[in-house]
Every structure is written in C-alpha cells, then in structure tokens.
Structure 1
Amino acid sequence: MKAAAFLIAALAVAAPWAHADVWGYVDAKGIAHFANEKVDERYELFFRGGTSFDTAQGLPQQEPTPRAVAVPTRSASRLIAFFEVSPAYKQVKHHLREASRAENIDYELLQALIATESGFDAAAVSPKGAIGLMQVMPATAQRYGVSADARVPLERKLADPRTNIRTGTRYLRYLLDLFPGRLELALAAYNAGEGAVIRAGRRIPDFPETRNYVRTVLQLYSMLKPPVPARRERTPARVRMELPGGAIGRGNLPPATD
C-alpha cells in the first residue's frame, strides 16, 4: 500500500470519540515521535481533530472522513508511512500479534501505545528509567516475573523486544481489568501508575503528561483500528474526556505507592 493510501485508510477509521490533533516527526534514526501539540519546530501537523472524547453511544459504523492536513515535507511523508516502511516496526510486529492474542488486547491498541511510548525504538530508556518498546519500569517487570540473574541484568532482559512487549501487555491487561470499561483510565495508569489514578478518585490525574499521553494513544488507536463491519457491531469501552493541551513527553512515570 502506498503512503497516500496508508494515510487515507488511517484517517478513514478515525472516529469522533477520539478527536484530537496529531503532530509528529521522524528523527534521523527513523524513530517516530507523536504528540497532540507542536512540541517544538520539528513537529508538523498531519491530522486535524477536535477537542473531546466520548464513546457513550459506541463507535458509529460510517463516519465522514476527518480532514487530513496536507504537509508536503519529506519528514511528514515519512511519518505518514511510518508503520508501512519502518524496519523497527516490522521486526517486532509478530511479537505484537503474539501478545495481542495472549492477553486479548487489540493489536492496534498495542501499536498505538508503543508508537507513543517509544516510536518503536527498542533501545529507548526514559529519564525516569522506563525501558524499551513499551517503556516498562523495572519494578513493574518484577511484578510479572522478569528479574536479573547471574549473567543478565534486568535492564538487558527488558530491552529484549519479546520480553518487553509481553511484560508491558500483561501490565496493560491488568489495568484494563482494574478499570473495566474505562480505557482512558487504564492508559492513564500505564503512564502514571494505578495508584495515581486511584488517588485521583478513579479519574485521569491532573498531570499534563498523562492527560496528553492518553489523548495521543487514543487518537492513534482510532486511526489504526479497522472499521467494524455493520453486521458485527461492537461497542468499545466508554471514554469521556475534555482535555486541553497536547502530548509533551513519553515514558512511564515512576510507579506510585498507594
């Protein structure tokens, strides 16, 4: 599929429950960076959305195609075609399929989360210590049985794409079960820790990074998710948000302690 066709297909599935601007660029290493605002001069707008999220009525089967913003620069073209041509994505997509099936999580949700967390950079390490594709904190990995041994430190194990994706997906599954029907809270907890969400009264914590992270993941997810056939209606988890601003960072915050 050509880059233009990829963009049209992606925009065609963006539903009104995830209206948000999408900005981004691809750096010299081929790593994609996504945000909901122009973080700096490198970011360019390639999708114009609205400002709110609401899935109270489910995802409509047929919606007008949202407006694409023409950005004729080379960097934007590379961004649009990122999932089509990215070697980093191609190298790990079979791990995404495996984890998606194992934990019963949409492949496209994992795809969107990893794109936001690391841009599919398996070597990414955040200033807060989150590691790899899904930016897993070492303490979180230990909860799921990933630990250092005499030969391999924990950080190196987490840098392995299969281990990282499997661990991050298990944690996301836990959060989806902890906040049933509230995808936005599960994503907020993935970024800020479940303790922060619980202390906020089971609402998205008032952290700009977390609020903007949730917006970015949901928008990318809605763009990547194929439309549901009319005969097989599916109602997604309800998501309701009215959020200002845009994504300004990526990577998990340190695990919060209740």
Structure 2
Amino acid sequence: MKPALMAAALLLLYGGTAEADIYAYTDSSGVVHLTNVPAGNDRYRMVMRTPKMAVAVARADFNRVARRRYQGLIHAAANRYQVSSALINAVISAESGYNAGAVSPKGAVGLMQLIPATALRFGVANVFSPTDNINGGTAYLAHLLRIFSGDLKLAVAAYNAGSNAVIQAGYHVPPFAETQAYVPRVLAYYQHYLNGGGTVSGENRQPVANAAPQLIQVSNP
C-alpha cells in the first residue's frame, strides 16, 4: 500500500475516536484490513499506536453528521419518555459529542455516557448501541425530572453528580467544579437546540443501525 493511501486511511479511521491504536492484516486477496477494534481477531497486528485523547477533546468538535443520523432515535426516545428532544441533544452534545464509542476515565460509556449502574437500572443491554444508550439515558432524564418536579437545572445537575448529591446540597446545584461547569453548558446547548440551532428538529429522523467497529478496506497495489 502506498504511504499516502495508508496515511489517509488511518486518518479516516482515527477520526472521532477517543483512543485509536490501529491494527491491520492483509488477506489472501491482497486487501489490507484496518481497524481500531480488533475484537480478539488474532490476524490483526498493531501498526500504529496513538495516544489516548482526553474525552473533553473528543467532545469539543462533535460529529455533525452523526448528530443528524441519530435524530430518529432521539425523537423516538423523546416521545416514549416525554422528554424534550432538545434536552436529549443537549446532554449528548455535552457528554460525548455524538461519539457512540466514547468512554470516560470514570467508565461512563456511549452517547449519553451511562455508568454501569445506571445502564443496569434502566435495562440497557448494550451501552455501545445508540438505540439502547439513548433510551437508557432518556429514561434516566425522565426519572430525574420527576424527582425534581420538572426543574431542568436540578435534573441536569443530578445527571452529572447524582440525585443524592443534589438533595444533600439542599436542592441546589452541588458545589463540585465539574457539575458547576456542566449545568450551564448543557442548558446553553438546550436553549440552542430549542431555538432551532443546528436544525435538530428538522434533521433526518430515520433510525440508524447500531454502531459497528470502524473498518476500512483498501486494495494493496
């Protein structure tokens, strides 16, 4: 494979991932298979090691194409749980930047960054599945909105810090630096989407298939 072609393929594969060590193997037909998710396939060998990106970096430039593609799932969850689609989009924007494979240092996973206990509580079978993750995260938001009587600020704070932290703070945003920064960021996204920013309400509402490992095949000259 020509170096320029390999470099281009690696850039495509690397884009949008928080950590993307690159693995490759060449099959009997001369096709080079590249992936960042070898999934136990012993034919793959690491060809490039990349540093782990901070989750905040991945969130900063969220994937606008993915945002459009996920609107069908978001609107379905909004209708199912009676939660504003603008709020769901706001949480996803702040949590993962629409990266279904995002994993935080604390172990939160997927579009809505569900921790294992929350995923289990709300019946999420596969946290990397956009459908399951969005449904679980939206169910959790609906639950928090009920606990805090529809108070958006407190529900968003609880999504980040936990409902007990909000209650122990006297039904105020807890005095944690992360939560204090998180709440206004989510609310700003919410207002942006509520006002039609990013054309979320009119974007493609067709459901999308569950995310699959990123794989590029390139012919070996």
- Match for residue 115 of structure 2 among 137, 144, 149: 137
The structural deviation recorded for 1:172 is: 0.4
- Match for residue 163 of structure 1 among 132, 145, 155: 132
Unaligned runs of 5+ in 2: 1-13, 18-55, 197-221
Instruction: Say whether residues 1:214 and 2:192 are aligned partners.
Output: no
Q: How does 1:56-205 map to 2 (within 5 A)?
A: 86-146=64-124, 157-205=126-174
The one-letter code matched in structure 2 to 1:219 is A
Q: Tell me what 2:29 maps to.
A: none
The structural deviation recorded for 1:88 is: 1.6
Unaligned runs of 5+ in 1: 1-27, 32-41, 44-77, 148-156, 228-258
User: CA–CA distance in 1 between the matches of 2:127 and 2:186?
Assistant: 22
Structure-2-length-normalised TM-score: 0.60
User: CA–CA distance in 2 between the matches of 1:182 and 1:208?
Assistant: 20
TM-superposition CA deviations, 1:113-132 (whole Å, max 9, x none): 10000000000011111110
User: CA–CA distance in 1 between the matches of 2:77 and 2:92?
Assistant: 13
TM-superposition CA deviations, 1:24-53 (whole Å, max 9, x none): xxxx8258xxxxxxxxxx99xxxxxxxxxx
The one-letter code matched in structure 1 to 2:114 is V
User: CA–CA distance in 1 between the matches of 2:123 and 2:111?
Assistant: 18
1 or 2, which has the higher helix percentage? Answer: 2
Larger Rg: 2
2:166–2:172 Cα contact (<8 Å) kept:
yes
User: CA–CA distance in 1 between the matches of 2:136 and 2:101?
Assistant: 16
User: CA–CA distance in 2 between the matches of 1:141 and 1:181?
Assistant: 22
User: CA–CA distance in 1 between the matches of 2:124 and 2:68?
Assistant: 25
User: CA–CA distance in 2 between the matches of 1:219 and 1:171?
Assistant: 20
The structural deviation recorded for 1:90 is: 2.4
User: CA–CA distance in 1 between the matches of 2:86 and 2:139?
Assistant: 16
2:157–2:173 Cα contact (<8 Å) kept:
yes
Q: Tell me what 2:218 maps to.
A: none
User: CA–CA distance in 2 between the matches of 1:102 and 1:108?
Assistant: 14
Q: Tell me what 2:15 maps to.
A: 29
Q: Count how many residue pairs are aligned between Structure 1 and Structure 2.
A: 145
* Stretches of 4+ aligned residues off by more than 3 angstroms: none
User: CA–CA distance in 2 between the matches of 1:168 and 1:134?
Assistant: 6
The one-letter code matched in structure 1 to 2:81 is E
